[in-house]
Amino acid sequence: MQAGDDRDDADGRQTVAAQPKPKKRIRRDPETTRKLILDTTEKVMVEEGYAAVSSRRVAQELELNAATVHYYYPTTDDLFIALHKRMTDRQLEELERVLSSEHPLEAFWRYQSTGIQTALGVEFLALSSHRKAIRDKLAGSTGKARDTQARLLEKATGWFSAAPDDLTPTALTTILVAVGRLLSNEERVGITKGHDEVRGFVDWALTRLVEPAKRD
C-alpha cells in the first residue's frame, strides 16, 4: 500500500485519503498569452530589474510550463526585444495624443518628465550595456523612435522662428527626453535637489521659443 493512498481509521476500517484536485488548465488564445507573458516580464523587470527576468521565472509567475514561454519567445533576448518594441510603440501612440494638445511643446515636456515608462526605460539602458547580443537592436529601435518623436514634434509645432540654427527638432527632442528622464529617475529614489529650478528653467526656455512664434 502506498503512503497517502489508504489509511486505517480509529475503528480499524480502511479509508481512502482525499486526493488534491488537479488544477484546471485555462486555455487562452495566442494573442492573450503573448500579452500576459509581456505584461509579466515588464512587471518583474520594473520591480526587480532586468537580471531577474528569465523564461522560467515568467512561467512561474503565470503558472505556465516554461515550454509555453519558449514557444512564443524562444530565448530571453527575444522576450526583451518584443517588450522593448511594445514599449516604444506604446510611447509613440501616447505621444500623438499628447501632441494634439493646444500647447504641444509644453505637453511634450510634461510627458517626458513625469515618470511614464521611465523605470522600464532605465532597465533597458542597463540591459543594453550588459547584453551585447541585443544592444544593436535596442539602439536601432530607440533611434527610430527618436526620429519619429522629432518628426511629430516638428509637425505639431510648425517649428519656431526663434530657434537657433543648431536647435533642430531632433536636438530639442533629445534634450527634453534626457532631462526629463534624469529628473524622473532621481525622483523615483527620493532625490529632488535642484529639480524645481531645472523645471523652471526649461519652462522659461520653451516659452522663449513659443512666444515669438505666436507673434509671427
Q: What is the full DSSP assignment across 15-59?
A: EEPPPPPPPPPPP--HHHHHHHHHHHHHHHHHHH-GGG--HHHHH
Within this chain, do residues 113 and 208 fall inside the same structural domain, yes or no? yes
Strand partners, 7: 15
Domain check: are 97 and 173 in the same one? yes
Residues 203 and 137 both lie in one domain: yes
**In this structure, are residues 108 and 176 in contact, taking their beta carbons and an 8 Å threshold?**
yes
Phi and psi angles of residue 16, each rounded to the nearest 5 degrees, phi first: -100, 125
Residue 70 sits in which domain range? 27-74
Supply the pLDDT for residue 209: 87
- Whether residue 131 is found in the same domain as residue 183: yes
Q: What is the pTM of this model?
A: 0.74
How many distinct structural domains can be found in the chain?
Answer: 2
CATH of the domain at 56: 1.10.10.60
Q: Determine the pLDDT at residue 117.
A: 60
Q: Using only C-alpha atoms, what is the Rg of the chain?
A: 26
**Predicted pLDDT at 22:** 42
Average pLDDT per 10 consecutive residues for the chain, totaling 216 residues? 48 51 60 96 93 96 94 95 92 89 90 75 88 87 90 85 84 92 86 96 91 54
CA distance 172 to 188: 24
